[in-house]
Amino acid sequence: MSELETQIENRRRKREALVEQGVDPYPTRYEFDLEPSQVLERFGERSAEELEAEEQRLKVPGRVRALRKHGKTSFVDLHDGQSKLQVMIRRPQLDEAAEAVLENLDLGDFLGVDGQLIRTRTGELTVAADDLVMLSKSLRPLPEKWHGLADVEARYRRRYLDLIVNPEPRQVFEIRAALVRGMRSFLDAHGFLEVETPMMQAIAGGAAARPFATHHNALDIDLYLRIAPELYLKRLLVGGLHRVYEINRNFRNEGISTQHNPEFTMLEFYWAYSDYRQLMDFTEKLLVGLANDIHGEPAITWQGARLNLEPPWPRYSIKQAISHFAGIDESRLDHVADLAAIFDERKIALPTIVKETSHPVLQSGSRSKYEKEHAQTEIPGDWYGRFLMELFEETVEEKLQEPTFILDYPIAVSPLAKPSPEDPRFTERFELYLGGMEIANAFTELNDPVQQAQRFRQQMEARELGDEEAHRFDHDYIRALEHGMPPAGGEGIGIDRLTMLFADCPSIRDVILFPLLRPQATDE
């Protein structure tokens, strides 16, 4: 028998021993007065003399996290997930049932104690218990008390253990909840209506991503888990819900990394008669407010650096950003041939989509060949934008630690955004970068049904060239637009990444309670 099996066997024997002595190891009901952290809140300041005079008796439940037995006196640390409360037990004062509980008590058990609140000789607030109730017998040993659970894989796979023995995850998920709470109250206060739109969609639209597929048996139709709620939320704009938001899961059938989990949480909101400029101001206000609420200052600490969130935040167009952060003159950013030359100079790989595309111009996969043929062959017009974006991601993205708006994205990569009146190659779109990560994506929404249909057709062409992430044509969405969508701004904010920043977690798995891992054969 392995050591673990032995330990489980010992605990099972104690469970049986309790049953034999008429003690239910899993009782149905327990009435208590306060949990440990509440006891500390209410009585934490009382002196020994005050407690002695008060003769306050309490029933307190909690998980046994430490057990110090010395002869006739035992000390137990009772935890409620936030704080611990010490219990002192003098064996001679116990009745038979309580004695059996003490006799068969293990670390990890849930225990109810009943006794007077005192301070011990060392001054610690303590319940001097004269009655004990087993509330739930634990059959497996907890990880070590001092080092906790350190194995990263075990922490993700068995988050319940991580939460019991490590203080950090609880704090992280409290921050996460505070962020979501703060967003809701901010949006509610600005007159936004929270809605829920389909997670299962016949056409997975609203973003460039591969979806998860599923099937509805009764209707016998294929459905997709949504990659974004965008097209449904904008249908609501058509329907007269002029300020709407949704906080919910998106699913993207793509790789896993420290910044990507296949399911992740987004806030998306749409605001009629607004535009991307107003959304930038709104975003600044939202995030600096969250920082003030959660950290008590308009700043966050990210991987050792203090990032100041006080508005206004710098705003660069894509071209300005490349010029400013990568030192490339803006005059070289207007033509695809110039961009290709920069890729060569800087030894940057071509955009994936270009490499994967079966367009004859690039079939060789060789850049020099591409450049040669480029001179005499018509290049699909949207490749300028794709090259520009690739250059931006390669040279600028990681440098954007302080909050920065990057604006005016190429039309090729923004099929749902309204074109810029100044330069039709670009759109009224921004992304917010913070800590080197893309946190928000927003634009003035394209509400021209004719142009939107044309954009969808361009996406279908890209799909035929091999871009599996290209948007799908959504005829029903076009029909909705044809009824008239008010001019509007819309924005998505990634909750997971924002939590990473606010809780200073370098991996998205640390801000998702149960991140996706490859299933493991169950062990003992």
Partner RNA sequence: GGGCCGUUAGCUCAGUUGGCAGAGCCGCGGACUUUUAAUCCGAAGGUCGUAGGUUCGAUUCCUACACGGCCCA
Give contact residues for RNA (rule: CB under 7 A).
Answer: 1-4, 6-7, 10, 14, 66-73, 75, 77, 86, 88, 90, 92, 106-107, 118, 120-124, 126, 128, 141, 143-154, 156, 255, 257-258, 349, 352, 506-507, 509, 515, 517-518, 520
Question: Would you say 185 or 352 has its CB closer to RNA?
Answer: 352
Q: Which is nearer to RNA, 152 or 213 (CB)?
A: 152
Q: How far is the CB of 517 from RNA (least distance, A)?
A: 4
Q: Bridge partners of 343?
A: none
Scored b (16 or more CB within 10 A) or e, 406-438 reads bbbbbbbbbbbbbbbeeeebbbbbbbbbbbebb
Q: How far is the CB of 257 from RNA (least distance, A)?
A: 5
The total of other beta-carbon atoms located within 10 Å of residue 128's CB is 19
Helix axes 336-345 and 383-395, enclosed angle (nearest 10) = 30
Q: What is the DSSP letter of 381?
A: T
CB atoms within 10 A of CB 246: 20
Write down the least CB distance from residue 7 to RNA, Å.
5
Q: Yes or no: say if 517 and 153 are a contact pair by the CB < 8 Å rule.
A: yes
Q: How many CB atoms lie within 10 A of CB 53?
A: 10
Shortest distance (Å) from residue 320 CB to RNA: 23
Classified as helix, coil or strand, 502 is helix
Provide the terminal-to-terminal Cα distance of the chain, rounded to the nearest Å. 12
Q: How is residue 251 written in tokens?
A: 């699913």
The residue assigned the tokens 């399911």 is 263
**Left if phi > 0, otherwise alpha if psi is -120 to 50, otherwise beta: which for 197?**
beta
CA angle 402/408/413 to nearest 5° reads 105
**Pairing state of beta strands 84-90 and 125-136?**
parallel
Cβ proximity to RNA: between 22 and 123 the closer is 123
Provide the 8-state DSSP code for 493. Answer: E
Whole-number minimum distance, CB 523 to RNA, in Å? Answer: 9
Q: Which two tokens stand for residue 301?
A: 């600490």
Query: Which residue is it, tokens 């995850």?
Result: 169
Minimal distance, residue 467 CB to RNA, in Å: 16
**For RNA, the closer CB: 126 or 323:** 126
Residue closer to RNA, measured from CB, 144 or 222: 144
For residue 71, the minimal CB distance to RNA (Å) is 2
Q: Cα(510)–Cα(258) distance, rounded to whole angstroms?
A: 9
Q: How far apart are CA 367 and CA 374, in angstroms?
A: 10
Which residues, listed in sequence order, are joined to residue 488 by a DSSP beta bridge?
272
- Closest distance to RNA from the beta carbon of 65 (Å): 9
User: How far is residue 279's CA from residue 272's CA, in Å, rounded to a whole number?
Assistant: 11
Q: Which is nearer to RNA, 43 or 430 (CB)?
A: 43
Shortest distance, CB of residue 395 to RNA, whole angstroms? 11
Nearest CB to RNA, comparing residues 5 and 461:
5
Distance in Å, CB of 418 to RNA, minimum: 31
Smallest CA-to-CA distance from 418 within 381, 384, 383, 449 is with 449
As a whole number of angstroms, the distance between CA 342 and CA 337 comes to 9
Q: Determine contact, residues 351/367, Cβ cutoff 8 Å.
A: no
What CA–CA distances, in Å, run from 225 to 207, 261, 286, 295, 329? Answer: 12, 14, 29, 35, 43
The string over 449-467, giving b where at least 16 C-beta atoms fall within 10 Å of a residue's C-beta and e elsewhere, is: beebbebbebbeebeebeb
In the complex with RNA, which residue's Cβ is closer, 124 or 461? 124
CB of 369 to RNA, least distance (A): 19
For residues 67 and 388, which CB has a smaller minimum distance to RNA in the complex? 67
Residue closer to RNA by CB (options 256, 294) is 256
- In terms of CB distance, is 79 or 455 closer to RNA? 79
Q: How far is the CB of 121 from RNA (least distance, A)?
A: 3
Phi and psi (nearest 5°) for 120?
Answer: -80, 180
Report the alpha-carbon distance of residue 513 to residue 511 in Å, rounded.
6
Nearer to RNA, 255 or 424 (CB): 255
Residue 280 Cβ vs RNA, minimum distance, rounded to whole Å? 28
Task: Reduce the DSSP state of residue 203 to 3 states and report it.
Answer: coil
Nearer to RNA, 84 or 226 (CB): 84
In the DSSP assignment, the letter for residue 416 is T
